Structure 1
């Protein structure tokens, strides 16, 4: 539909479209795939019901949920759980 006069000429429009495509190929990277672990999506905080996530600390991996990790004890009194403890309890329960 040619309802009004073009603001820019077709050659400029095509050049801009080509530049947009070139930049998209260069800068739009695929997002990193999320790593899942044996306890991913299975642990919930008793206090607020939020999911725990895995965090690697200087000593060992622990499971902690984001609210406590970012806002601290004032947001929720839940504690982090060492991954080795989770693995041991799981092994004991499963035999």
Structure 2
């Protein structure tokens, strides 16, 4: 028997799970690599299908819909009671490439950082995603947006999601479908980085972008 502790998050997930009402939302996740069988949460990359009465229900549909409406109303009340500036620009935007959960903001000794929700709740064994310092995140956003510094208005207007694609690698998905890669530097190393090291990081970013685009890198020279 599983004796894992219950949390408000677990209860919300159960109340919002359509399977308890006898329905099924297909392709909540998708396989990115058929060799490794690695899965990612589906954030619109592939179509989803909603199948009604796919299996016997545990609760009737009226009770299920009532619970969903109560959750929605509670969420709207909490949102309306929150200060306008309480919602950070990155909230709900950063998606973990390992488990598909969103990153959350945490401040330690006056320094803000963003961590995977799974890591925060269950630890490194559940998800190994590392913390992203907020200063590094701001710099990476400015780089992706091709701006001298972070601009919140431009970020909200242009960026759909930020996928944590790997160690120190962020994949910026724009609302118009464009994709850009940025590599951030650990704070302990950033102060000692030479121009050559920064150029190497930039070349790594361009190489990853080339692989993602499935073609040649427009910024790389042609070698004959």
TM interval, shorter chain, is: 0.5 to 0.7
Matching of residues 6-25 of structure 1 within 5 Å: none
> Runs in 1 of length 4+ with deviation above 4 angstroms?
none
Greater relative contact order structure (CA < 8 Å, 6+ sep): 1
Could you say what the CA RMSD is over the residues aligned between the two structures, in angstroms?
1.8
Equivalences, count: 66
> Which one has the largest radius of gyration?
1
Q: Deviations over 1:8-35 (max 9, x none)?
A: xxxxxxxxxxxxxxxxxxxxxx855272
Greater share of residues in strand: 2
Is 1:48 matched up with 2:109? no
Measured in 1, the distance between the counterparts of 2:89 and 2:121 equals: 24
TM-score normalised by length of structure 2: 0.27
2:121 to 70, 79, 82: 70
Comparing 39-48 and 64-73, the one that deviates more: 64-73
2:99–2:118 Cα contact (<8 Å) kept:
no
Measured in 2, the distance between the counterparts of 1:52 and 1:45 equals: 7
Q: Deviations over 1:43-91 (max 9, x none)?
A: 0000000011111111410001222012111101111110000100111
Q: Secondary structure at the match of 1:38?
A: coil
Q: Which runs of 5+ in 2 are unaligned?
A: 1-76, 148-224
Corresponding position of 2:82: 33
TM-score normalised by length of structure 1: 0.61
Q: Which runs of 5+ in 1 are unaligned?
A: 1-29
